[in-house]
Amino acid sequence: MSVQTPAAAPPQRPQDERVAKRKLLHTVILRPELGSVLGAILIFGFFVAMAPPFRNVDSFATVLYASSTIGIMAIAVALLMIGGEFDLSAGVNVTAGALAASMIAYNLHLNLWLGAFLALFVCLAIGFINGWLVTKTKIHSFLITLGMFLMLQGANIAVTKFVTNSVSTPRVSDMEGWASARAVFASSINVGGVSIRITVLWWLVFAAVASFVLFKTKFGNWIFAVGGNAESARAVGVPVNRVKIILFMTVGFAAWFSGMHILFAFDTVQSGQGVTNELIYIAAAVIGGCLLTGGYGTAIGACIGAFIFGMTNQGIVLAGWEPDWFKFFLGAMLLLAVIGNNAIRKYAASK
C-alpha cells in the first residue's frame, strides 16, 4: 500500500525512496489520517451547530483536555499498532504507574519525584515484559497483553490493599515535590486569556516527537517494516524483536506519563481505575487510520482520533442531550467515523 517494506528500499536511504515515488495529490489522498480529518471537521461542525456552549473557547479547552488524556496514550498505542502489535494492558498500566508512584513515595517517605522516577521503571518493565513475551513466545500480543491486563487489574487492587489497607492510595499533596511535579504533569497555562491544561501541550509535543521518529528516522522505517512484514524486515537486517520491545516500552512510558497526570491531578488514586480505557486508545488509533493488521497509520491520525473522541464525549454533555442515550451517541459517532474513514481509504486505494 502506501508504505513500502525496506526489502524494496536500500536501508541507507529509505526516505528518499519513499518521497521520490509519490506525487503531491496522490500523497495527500493516501494520507492515513485523511478520513479522520474529514470526520473531525464534520463532528466539529455538528456540535458547533447543535451545542451553543461548544462555541465557547473555554469549553473548547476542556474538549482539548479530554482529548489529550486519551491522545497521549493513543499516540504510543498507534506506534505499537503500526509495528503490528496490540496492548490491552495499556489502560491499567496507567493506573499501575500512578499507584506505584504514590505508594512508593508515601510509604518510604520519599520525594514525589523519586516516587515518580521509580514508577517509571514499573511501567517500562510492564511494557518490556509484554514485548519480551510476545517476541519470545510468538504468541499473539492480544493474548499476552490480555493476560497482563487481567494480572495488572488484580495486582493494582491487591497490592494497594496490602500496602495501604484500603483500595485507594492516601493523599500525597502534603509531600515534598508535589508542587513542582504538579506543575509539570497537571497544571494549567494561560494562553491568551484561556486556561489550557498542560496535558494538551504535552500531547502536541509527543505527537511531534512520534511523527518525527516515524517519518524522519531509521527507527520509524523499522516500525513500518516490522508491522508490514516482520519476516522480510528481519531478512534485510531489521532487529524485529528489539523494535517490538521498544514499542511496548513506549506504551509503558506513555502509561507512566498519563499515570503521573492522574496522580498529580487527583491526589488520591483509585485502584480500580483505567479499565476499558485500553479500548478507547485503540479506537482512537483506528479512527485515526491505523490498521488493526499493522504497517499502516500515523501518530497525527491517532491524535485526531482522540480529538474526535474528546469532542463527542464533551459535545453530548454540552448539547444537553438525554443522558440515558449517552453511550449510544458515543458509539454511533465512533462507528460513523470509522466507516467514513474506511470508505475514504478504499476510494483512495482505487485511484
Binding site for other proteins (CB under 8 A): 51, 53, 56, 58-59, 62-63, 65-66, 69, 105-114, 153-154, 156-157, 160-161, 165-168, 170-177, 188, 195, 261-262, 265-268, 270-277, 280, 310, 313-314, 317-320, 323-324, 326-327
Nearer to other proteins (CB atom), residue 166 or residue 217: 166
Query: Cβ 175 to other proteins, closest distance in Å?
Result: 4
Q: Are 49 and 318 in contact (CB under 8 A)?
A: no
Considering the complex, state which of residue 16 and residue 58 has its C-beta at the smaller distance from other proteins. 58
In the complex, minimum distance from the CB of residue 226 to other proteins, in angstroms, rounded to a whole number = 31
Q: What is the DSSP string of 304-322?
A: HHHHHHHHHHHHHHHTT--
Judged by beta carbon, residue 56 or residue 137, the one nearer other proteins is 56
Minimum separation from the CB atom of position 329 to other proteins (A): 11
Closest CA relative to residue 79, chosen from 338, 307, 298, 300: 298
- Residue 194 CB, shortest distance to other proteins, in Å, is 12
If the CB atoms of residues 196 and 245 are measured against other proteins, the closer one turns out to be 196
Cβ proximity to other proteins: between 137 and 173 the closer is 173
At its nearest, how many Å lie between other proteins and the CB of residue 345? 29
Of 104, 100, 86, the C-alpha closest to 142 is 86
Q: How far is the CB of 335 from other proteins (least distance, A)?
A: 18
- The total of other beta-carbon atoms located within 10 Å of residue 111's CB is 16
Q: Are 259 and 265 spatial neighbours (Cβ–Cβ below 8 Å)?
A: no
CA distance 215 to 295: 13
Nearer to other proteins among residue 54 and residue 296 (C-beta): 54
Q: Which of 185, 180, 182, 181 is nearest to 198 (CA)?
A: 185
| Short-list 73, 95, 49, 112, CA closest to 281 | 73
Element containing residue 301 per DSSP (H, E)? helix 299-318
